[in-house]
């Protein structure tokens, strides 16, 4: 399996480290042969079975995607069925509507959701919590850093996780998964494993 990580800005290394932890965990099995590629241009999408959109600064990522032309390429790939997983800023990019963002920001319409940027406050308001996550047996240790929340969902969107006050922080629709929080920062591999299972089930290869 070949997984791309969008590498225009943000927490690329953390996701790469988590995927390598998964590969070590499943050594000798199919996931033990994970190939990981950083994606900055369209040619680097070739052959991938899924794409991770990391946390970072969503408006900066938006601008860089527009400048490179990757915004249109990724939007089309998502419509064609490319599995994707976005954390924090990655969730924002995958949304269909974003609140409290710059007027020139773009998003990729991979999920029928409305998100609000920086909904939990500034960097000093970061926090951690153990949360029940649908599809994962044990609570997931979630790290929230200037995180968004999902304010509205479309009829085809499944809510996977809520934070302690009941706000939606993880969703799934079709081949797309997104979390407000950073499992890759917490040392959690189970969410990435869930995403790899989605990629296997989708059977999609970008050409």
* 10-residue mean pLDDT series, the chain (207 residues): 96 96 91 95 97 95 94 97 97 96 91 92 75 96 93 97 95 98 93 97 96
Residue owning tokens 């950083």: 38
- Which residues, other chains included, contact 129 with Cβ-Cβ below 8 Å and sequence gap of 6+? 141, 142, 144, 163, 164
Give 123's DSSP letter: G
Q: Return binding residues for L-glutamine.
A: 56-58, 117, 145-146
Give which of 90, 64, 109 is closest to 148, Cα–Cα: 90
- How far is Cα 188 from Cα 3, in angstroms, rounded to an integer? 18
166 found inside a domain: yes
Total domains present in the chain: 1
Inter-axis angle of helices 70-80 and 58-68, to 10 degrees?
Answer: 100
143 found inside a domain: yes
Tell me which residues are annotated as active site: 88, 182, 184
> In 3-state terms, what secondary structure has residue 111?
coil
For the chain, report the end-to-end CA distance as a whole number of angstroms. Answer: 14
- How far is Cα 90 from Cα 11, in angstroms, rounded to an integer? 10
CATH number of the domain within which 188 lies: 3.40.50.880
Structure-token pair, residue 25: 């965990």
Q: What is the pLDDT of residue 22?
A: 96
- How far is Cα 99 from Cα 132, in angstroms, rounded to an integer? 26
- How far is Cα 20 from Cα 32, in angstroms, rounded to an integer? 9
- Which residues, other chains included, contact 182 with Cβ-Cβ below 8 Å and sequence gap of 6+? 11, 14, 55, 87, 88, 142, 143, 144, 145
82 found inside a domain: yes
Quick count: other Cβ atoms within 10 Å of Cβ 150?
Answer: 24
75 found inside a domain: yes
Domain that holds residue 179: 2-202
Structure-token pair, residue 21: 């932890």
Structure-token pair, residue 108: 């990729």
Q: What is the pLDDT of residue 125?
A: 58
- How far is Cα 74 from Cα 109, in angstroms, rounded to an integer? 10
Please check whether residue 200 is in contact with residue 29, taking contact to mean a CB–CB distance below 8 angstroms: no
207 found inside a domain: no
Give which of 109, 11, 107 is closest to 59, Cα–Cα: 107
């Amino acid at each position: 399996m070949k997984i791309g990580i969008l590498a225009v800005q943000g927490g690329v290394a953390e996701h790469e480290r988590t995927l390598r932890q998964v590969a070590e965990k499943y050594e000798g099995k199919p996931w033990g042969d994970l190939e990981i590629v950083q994606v900055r241009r369209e040619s680097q999408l070739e052959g991938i079975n899924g794409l991770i959109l990391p946390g970072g600064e969503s408006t900066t990522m938006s601008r860089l995607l527009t400048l490179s032309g990757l915004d249109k390429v990724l939007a089309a790939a998502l419509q064609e069925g490319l599995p994707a997983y976005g954390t924090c800023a990655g969730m924002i990019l995958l949304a269909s509507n974003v609140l409290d963002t710059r007027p020139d920001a773009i998003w990729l319409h991979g999920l029928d959701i409305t998100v609000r940027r920086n909904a939990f406050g500034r960097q000093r308001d970061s926090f951690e919590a153990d949360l029940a996550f649908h599809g994962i047996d044990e609570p997931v240790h979630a790290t929230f850093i200037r995180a968004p929340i999902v304010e509205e969902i479309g009829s085809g969107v499944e809510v996977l996780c809520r934070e302690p006050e009941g706000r939606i922080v993880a969703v799934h629709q079709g081949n797309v998964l997104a979390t407000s929080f950073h499992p890759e920062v917490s040392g959690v591999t189970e969410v990435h494993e869930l995403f790899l299972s989605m990629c296997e089930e989708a059977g999609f290869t970008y050409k």
